[in-house]
Amino acid sequence: MVAPLYFLEVFHVKNQQVTNTSIDAFSGKITNYERAMLEFGIQDISEIADSLEGRMNHKYFRRRLIFGHTDAKKVFEAIEAKKPFAIMTGIKPTGKYHIGSLITCNEVLYYQSLGAKVYFCIADMEGYLHNGVPLERAHQIAIDNIADILALGLEPKTAYIYKQSEEHNVLRLASLFSRNVTYNMMRAIYGEQAFGAYQSALIQIGDILLPQLPDYEGPLPTITPVGLEQAPHSRLSRDIARKKIHQERFGFILPSFTFHKILGSLDGGQKMSKSAGTAFILTLSETEKSLQRKISNIITGGRETKREQKAKGGRIDDCRIFDLFKFYFTDDDQLLTKREHACKSGELLCGECKQELFDQALPFIEKHCEKKEQKLALARQLVEGQK
């Protein structure tokens, strides 16, 4: 079990004051959003995104689903100048790929379309160290997950897909970096954790900086899209990259990050994750029956009675149905605004909204499963390619 965080402690690490975090990066819990933004120096992304002549005009920017960044301007400038840059991402192979992870995948596909080389990590070491998933089991899950990613549109020709446990450069970097961190530094950034959690964090920093090694892309701008709960990894990676010993040896360009909102679980929880249980997540392999059951039980912002709903309108900020339309199932901003107005005015009832979601989600999942079936052989080849 992850120990609670201690929010008021302050540590001095080599003359640098580091405040204990309001985020648990391993459980995904955030106790104070405003403090987290200030603590990790996350800036509003709209100013730099709006300045790029429309090339960043993605619905995630327009809808503030991507809301923050750390040092992303240099990556956006590389995009505008058509210079090389890389995007680093990954997935922890602990279960079925679900729709809560789709926002990250869509960001990766978007940056790949703008010229990024994709580094896609299968975080099997993290899955073992933090979740206890054996590497052999993670291997099989990874094949299934990568088939999902390929079906969603990842172009393997401009992607490097690897397992942490078999990428010796990542493990080597993690070992090198461990020489220059202390327990107090890790505790200040991550809170009190089991040693394996700290170890997995260092491995993730190896992932983030891997693209910049000479045998890969060499030092170049890199970006990693994450939820706010992953901000501790952004801090640690930049702290390590800027250390003199690593600058002299590798010449790292400080990695950049964008921060997106997190889709909550179907029961109203803060984050849709595999740890929430299969009843509270939507996978990309739902059957018609399971999809119907989950959507019928999803939490909404509806009132107690139909009469009250029509009189007072829905509470859209509490509605997972609207969130799913906003994140994935409505591309047209005007249609999304129309749905919002209809809900708040009481014109649209929750049952109608659920049916509309089912009518859109079912064909999406069915088409995805067809594509995925065709990608399984390639996924196996890519996952096993390092052997």
Domains observed in the chain? 10-265 (3.40.50.620), 286-378 (1.10.240.10)
| Predicted local distance difference test score (pLDDT) of residue 343 | 93
Q: Of 33-37, 81-85, 90-94, 371-375, give the lowest mean pLDDT range.
A: 33-37
186 vs 275, which has greater pLDDT?
186
Q: What's the CA gap between 112 and 117, in Å, rounded?
A: 6
Per-residue pLDDT tens digits for 138-149? 999 999 999 999
Q: What pLDDT does residue 76 have? A: 92
**Taking a C-beta distance cutoff of 8 angstroms, is the pair 209, 241 a contact?**
yes
Residue 48: the pLDDT is 82
Lowest mean pLDDT among 6-10, 168-172, 237-241: 6-10
The interaxial angle of helices 124-131 and 135-152, nearest 10 deg, is 130
Q: What percent of the chain has pLDDT over 90?
A: 66
Alpha helices by DSSP H, listed for the chain, are: 33-39, 46-50, 59-62, 73-80, 102-113, 124-131, 135-152, 168-178, 183-190, 195-209, 231-241, 244-250, 288-297, 306-312, 320-324, 333-344, 350-383
Specify the 3-state DSSP secondary structure of 278: helix
Can you tell me the mean pLDDT for 318-326?
A: 93
Give CA–CA dist 75/86, Å, rounded.
9
Q: Let me know the angle formed at the C-alpha of 46 by 210 and 104, rounded to the nearest 5 degrees.
A: 40
List, for residues 329-344, the tens digit of each pLDDT value. 999 999 999 999 999 9
Q: Three-state SS for 166?
A: helix
Which residue has better confidence, 281 or 357?
A: 357
Mean pLDDT on 16-40 = 65
Q: Are 365 and 286 in contact (CB under 8 A)?
A: yes
Q: Cα(224)–Cα(240) distance, rounded to whole angstroms?
A: 16
- N-terminal to C-terminal alpha carbon distance within the chain: 34
Cβ neighbours around 145 below 10 Å, total = 23
Looking at per-residue confidence, does 269 or 60 come out higher? Answer: 60
- Provide the pLDDT for residue 28: 63
Choice between 155 and 30, residue whose per-residue pLDDT is larger = 155
227/366 Cα distance (integer angstroms): 28
* Residue 275, beta-bridge partner list: none
Q: Report the percent of the chain where pLDDT is more than 70.
A: 88
Confidence of residue 21 (pLDDT cuts 50, 70, 90): low
What SS3 class is residue 193? coil
Please state, rounded to an integer, the average pLDDT across all residues of the chain: 87
pLDDT, tens digit (0-9, with 9 covering 90-100), for 249-266: 999 999 999 999 988 878
Rounded CA separation 212/224 (Å):
13
The tokens for 110 are: 């978007």
What pLDDT shows up at residue 193? Answer: 86
Average pLDDT over residues 263-291: 78
Edge-to-edge strands of the sheet including 66-70?
43-44, 66-70, 256-260, 222-227, 86-91, 117-122, 159-163
Name the burial class of residue 318, with classes exposed (0-12), middle (13-18) and buried (19+) by CB atoms within 10 angstroms of its CB: middle
This prediction's pTM: 0.88
What's the pLDDT at 241?
97
